[in-house]
């Protein structure tokens, strides 16, 4: 059972938009910044979003992040088949004093 | 170019020990926190441990506390994970990860080292 809750899977057609939610609490998301990672099959995770809504260099603006209260959301517009991957949110938990990740969301581009 | 190269994985019996290494290059190693994150087969990411720059403090997940120790060799730009009393549940791909500006945000990851605990 992960501290951060994500939907196990989402799906959409190419060209459509999708959002992935990440729900936490005041001890983690509510008082810390959220990052998002993309893990393509059989590869290491890739840094996608940091500080809730900032993109590292090289990440296309089709990817966006937001945070409200104790929840965060990853948005992907103009879906491409190459976006099929597992997506994870992560942050720090002040009560547990550990880094916490969501359980991951598998994105299928139909 | 930032590179993180893990080594030291392998097959070990329950109760055994193993040391993972992560050789870092392409950035000022002493400036950034470094973490180990693992992924059991078919499962999600699980953070294991973090070593803050300067090496003065480290944190561990409850699942490994008291059994695993993180350390750094600043002369070799290498971070280690010393794993003792290994259990089958520790079987996973272990990633070394470099922290971004915030210690709990990871901008670069290694390719992973596979640890299998089995008799």
- pLDDT single digits (tens) A52-72: 999 999 999 999 999 999 999
Residue reference for tokens 């470094």? B34
Report the residue from B44, B101, B102 with minimal CB separation from A101.
Answer: B44
Contact yes or no for A88 and B108 at CB 8 A? no
Beta pairing, strands B92-99 & B68-73: unpaired
Residue A30 DSSP label: G
Q: Calculate mean pLDDT across residues A98-109.
A: 97
Q: Which residue of B has its CA nearest to A92?
A: B104
CA distance B20 to B26: 20
Q: What is the pLDDT of residue B54?
A: 75
User: Which of B44, B46, B52, B59 to substitute to test the interface with A, most A CBs within 10 Å?
Assistant: B44
Q: What is the pLDDT of residues B85-104, one digit of tens each?
A: 999 999 999 999 999 989 89
Q: What is the pLDDT of residues B34-87, one digit of tens each?
A: 999 999 999 999 999 999 987 678 999 999 999 999 999 999 999 999 999 999
Q: What is the pLDDT of residues A8-37, one digit of tens each?
A: 999 999 999 999 999 999 999 999 999 999
CA distance B108 to B3: 8
Short-list A64, A65, A75, CA closest to A33: A65
Q: What is the pLDDT of residues A69-96, one digit of tens each?
A: 999 999 999 999 999 999 999 999 999 9
**Dihedral over alpha carbons A102, A86, B68, B91 (to 10 degrees):** 120
Contact list in A for residue B105 (CB cut-off 8 A) is 33, 35, 47, 50-51, 90
Contact yes or no for B95 and A86 at CB 8 A? no
* Residue B63 touches partner A, C-beta closer than 8 Å: no
CA distance B112 to A104: 18
Q: What is the pLDDT of residue B55?
A: 61
DSSP per position, B15-35:
T--EEEEEEEESS-GGGS-EE
Residue B14 has pLDDT above 70, yes or no: yes
C-alpha distance from B45 to closest chain A C-alpha (Å): 7
For B:70-89, CB contacts with A below 8 A are none
Contact yes or no for A51 and B105 at CB 8 A? yes
Kindly state the helix (H) or strand (E) to which residue B47 belongs, with its residue range: strand B45-51
Contact list in B for residue A86 (CB cut-off 8 A) is 44
Residue B15 has pLDDT above 90, yes or no: yes
Report the residue from A47, A51, A100 with minimal CB separation from B106.
Answer: A47
Contact B101, B13 (CB under 8 A): no
Rounded alpha-carbon distances, angstroms, from residue B95 to A43, B31, B61, B119: 11, 20, 15, 24
Contact list in A for residue B103 (CB cut-off 8 A) is 92
Q: What is the pLDDT of residue A1?
A: 80
Rounded alpha-carbon distances, angstroms, from residue A26 to A35, A93, B86, B104: 16, 9, 34, 16
Short-list A63, A70, A64, A33, CA closest to A51: A33
């Amino acid at each position: 059972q992960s501290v951060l809750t994500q939907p196990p899977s989402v799906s959409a057609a190419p060209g459509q938009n999708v959002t992935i939610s990440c729900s936490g609490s005041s001890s983690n998301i509510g008082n810390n910044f959220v990052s998002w990672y993309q893990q393509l099959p059989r590869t290491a995770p890739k840094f996608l979003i940091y500080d809730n809504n900032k993109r590292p260099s090289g990440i296309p603006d089709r990817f966006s992040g937001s945070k409200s209260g104790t929840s965060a959301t990853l948005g992907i517009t103009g879906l491409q088949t190459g976006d099929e991957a597992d997506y994870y949110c992560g942050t720090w938990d002040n009560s547990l004093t550990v880094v916490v990740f969501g359980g991951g969301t598998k994105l299928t581009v139909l | 170019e930032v590179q993180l190269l893990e080594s030291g994985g392998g097959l070990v019996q329950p109760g055994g020990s193993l040391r993972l290494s992560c050789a870092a290059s392409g950035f000022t190693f002493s400036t950034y926190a470094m973490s180990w994150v693992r992924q059991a087969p078919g499962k999600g990411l699980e953070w294991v441990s973090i070593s803050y720059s300067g090496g003065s403090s480290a944190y561990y997940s409850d699942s490994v506390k008291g059994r695993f120790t993180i350390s750094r060799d600043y002369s070799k730009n290498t971070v280690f994970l010393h794993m003792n009393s290994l259990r089958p549940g520790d079987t996973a791909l272990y990633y070394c990860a470099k922290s971004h500006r915030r210690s709990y945000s990871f901008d670069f990851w290694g390719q992973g080292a596979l640890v299998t605990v089995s008799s």
